[in-house]
Amino acid sequence: MEAGMPKRKEPGRSLRIKVISMGNAEVGKSCIIKRYCEKRFVSKYLATIGIDYGVTKVYIKDREIKVNIFDMAGHPFFYEVRNEFYKDTQGVILVYDVSQKDSFEALDSWLAEMKQELGPHGNMDNIIFTVCANKCSKVQIQNVTQGKVVLLLKDRLAALY
Cα 132 from Cα 60, distance rounded (Å): 22
Q: What pairs with residue 94 in β-bridges?
A: 22, 131
How many angstroms from the chain centroid is the CA of residue 41?
Answer: 18
CATH of 15-159, one of 3.40.50.300, 3.40.50.720, 3.30.420.40, 3.40.50.1860: 3.40.50.300
**Predicted local confidence at residue 146, as pLDDT:** 66
Residue % of the chain over a pLDDT of 90: 39
Question: pLDDT, tens digit, for every residue of 52-76?
Answer: 999 999 999 889 999 999 999 988 8
Exposure letters 97-121 (e unless 16+ CB within 10 A, then b): bbbbeebbebbeebbebbeebbeee
What pLDDT score was predicted for residue 160?
Answer: 47
